[in-house]
Structure 1
Amino acid sequence: MAEEETPAPAPVTSADVARLAGVSRATVSFVLNGTPGHRVGEPTRARVLDAARRLGYVPHAAARSLRAGRSNLVLMPASVSAIGRLVSEWVDDLYGELERHGYTAVLHAGRFADPVDAARAWAELRPAAVIALDGDRLTAGAADLLRRAGVRGVLAFASGPVEGVHTVGFDHARIGAAATEHLIARGRTRIGVVLPRERGLGALARPRLAGVESVAARHTATVTPVELAYTRESATGLARRWRGLDLDSVFAYNDEYAALLLHALRAEGVAVPDEVAIVGSDDLVLSGLQQPALTTIRLELPAPARIADAVHELIETGGAAPVPAMEAVLVHRRSS
């Protein structure tokens, strides 16, 4: 005989908190939502917080948004695999700065081929604002859909302006260009460019490749894309056929792929930088610890506080002051 299922317990409501604390539901709302303009005595506030803690009550964000007429969510669409270690630390700091303004940041990792479909999925959550880390995929149509759905601010990191979007300059082509200018200045003319096989990284790798190609086209340099998965086996396979590719240098997408390839090349007896110069990106701690230390591109991003302030301005007023663009700065070390 099948066991009877235990019914799920009824969710705790603000009415339960009010009964236990001996106050009205309105008072519970004022205390737990921090409603401005409503003063509640400290003893009463303490009773409400204690009752909520004992009952395990959590305010309903959607209901609170309906009452307030706006959400406190800031949505950040981004592929998790595309957020490198450098950017993930920056995003963590941004979360804290958004909390300072009273917002809750939510990472949205959905994958959509069409920008308008993506915007429709974001709009379903009714965020107050959207921060698009991969803003080059945004379109004016997607921005308009978000606006009509009540999203008060859209900020995007993109290579160029998008109608209806507060754009912060972040052109990945500049990263590839900076690496290539350095390699050519060091006398390298046969440049490989690592294209990661990992899903989600193509959106960043392709413009970096374009930046390499744009600089090489102005010189007598050739560019050869080389695929590399972030595995030891893939790196070993590439290193074993490296001499057959006849490349004297490589821009390895970022420091993690650069370090992986560096170790594989050295294991196969390929001398760095004598036979091949390597440049990574992001200036991670590990780049300076390699043997030889990796040349890299440091990404100077706008301060998270500056971004959070701009998002708050967009939500409150519909406009914000310009934010400085990302800068790609070469850090020369021994691998090149």
Structure 2
Amino acid sequence: MTGRRSSTATMHQVAAAAGVSQATVSLVLNNTGGSRVAESTRLRVLDAARTLGYRPNAAARTLRDGTAGLIGFVGDVVASSPFAGRIVEGAQARAWEDGLLLLTVNTGGDAGIEDAAIEALLSHQVAGIVYASMYHRKLTIPDSLIDVPTVVLNSEDAAGLARSIVPDEVGGGLAATQALLDAGHRRIGLINIESPSSGLPAAVGRAQGYREALDAAGLDVDPRLVWDGDGNPQAGFDGTLALMALEAPPTAIFCANDRTAWGAYQALETLGLAVPEDVSIIGFDNQETLAPFLRPGLTTLELPFVTMGWRAVDTLLNDSAQPDGPEQVSCPLVVRESVARPNRTAG
């Protein structure tokens, strides 16, 4: 019969194996030693704990610290979204840096499930809760979270009670338009994902960035070049047909999400036009199941899901002061093959 290493090693046994006091073991394993424990001693304790198969007592930690070494993550459809699930990846990575686990609940937008999930997480003495949304919007956090350490992720707490981590929509819209300007385009269309009058932060911010880039280049915004879609391929298709039917059509189009850009590609193909030889296209999202596989590959702005998830947990753990407004995370430009210099003179 093969012998097995015990999974119930005690802190006292770790101390004996490492040749140190139990107090020293406690300081090291609970990450509270700081400069009080020499690095050589710390490594010796960790090696002994690993060899003996020591596991910290979660119940004891709950009694001592008031938390169970857990972070709660509540999302609407974040975890099941094909691209926004990377938020969970970033949040989990940051939690693990402090030896914490992320408990994730996907509510599907069901208020009853959300209430039950929050109550269950709080009953497990989580250190705090990340309250996440699939898309950038203004929302109201549940009453049960008002007195709980909470960070709103990928949305904004309308009441300003909780800290919020969101993508920099204005900066992204500006960067997208600037990339087209840098390629030599001066007549640039915009197909948005909603009307800015909707108040949707992504629609408002991306359109604002578009206007700011044109203004900085000394160009007026031609309202005929702006089309308010709904974020779906059909709107990109219809908007592109309308823009290209103008007497002076655009030489480039900024599509405010990748699905809209997909529709724009189809419309241009229907018209017998090529991307980017006849019209340059730039998107927003860097949806990994779509943008790299369009032909040509779509140049787009990446929603920084991993970074935002990481920042949400980091903010929660560091208990930093509430800033004025949400923290904005920049959206990097992902260059592929859908942008080129214009091959004709705009009217």
TM-score above 0.5: yes
Equivalent-residue separation in structure 1 for 2:213 and 2:76 (angstroms): 29
Question: Residue by residue, what CA displacement relative to the aligned partner does 1:164-190 show, whole Å, maximum 9, x if unpaired?
Answer: 433445321111111011112223233
SS in 1 for 2:331: strand
Q: CA deviation at 1:152?
A: 2.4
- Measured after TM superposition, the shift of residue 235 of structure 1 is 4.8
**1:275 Cα offset (Å):** 3.2
TM-score after normalising by structure 1: 0.58
Amino acid at match of 1:215: A
Counterpart of 1:129 in structure 2 is 129
Alignment of 1:1-336 (within 5 A): 35-37=58-60, 74-78=72-76, 85-95=82-92, 98=95, 101-110=100-109, 127=122, 128-133=128-133, 137=138, 148=146, 150-157=147-154, 163-168=160-165, 170-196=167-193, 202-218=200-216, 219-222=218-221, 223-227=225-229, 230-231=232-233, 234-245=235-246, 246-285=249-288, 286-300=290-304, 301-302=306-307, 304-305=309-310, 307-311=312-316, 313=317, 318-319=319-320, 325-336=328-339
Are the aligned partners of 1:254 and 1:281 in contact in 2 as well (CA < 8 Å)?
A: yes
Quickly say closer, same or farther: Cα 1:137–1:88, change in 2 above 3 A. same
Q: Determine if contact 1:192/1:250 at 8 Å carries over to the other structure.
A: yes
Q: Displacement, 1:331?
A: 3.0
**What is the root-mean-square deviation of aligned Cα atoms in Å?**
4.6
Q: Which residue of 2 aligns with 1:57?
A: none
Question: In structure 2, how many angstroms separate the alpha carbons of the residues matched to 1:110 and 1:156?
Answer: 15
> How many residue pairs are counted as aligned between the two chains?
259
Partner AA of 1:151 in structure 2: V
Distance in 1 between the 2:242 and 2:150 partners? 50
Q: Percent identity?
A: 21
Post-superposition offset of 1:151: 1.5
Give the C-alpha shift of residue 295 in structure 1. 1.7
Q: Write the letter of the residue equivalent to 1:213.
A: R
In the TM superposition, what is the alpha-carbon distance from 1:279 to its structure 2 partner?
0.3
Q: Normalization by structure 2: what TM-score?
A: 0.56
Alpha carbons 2:169, 2:206 under 8 Å: kept: yes
1:182 & 1:137 partners in 2: Cα distance? 29
Contact 1:75–1:122, Cα closer than 8 Å, also in 2: no
Q: Is the 8 A contact 1:159 1:171 kept in 2?
A: no
What 5-or-longer segments of structure 1 have no aligned partner? Answer: 1-33, 39-63, 113-118
Partner of 2:35: none
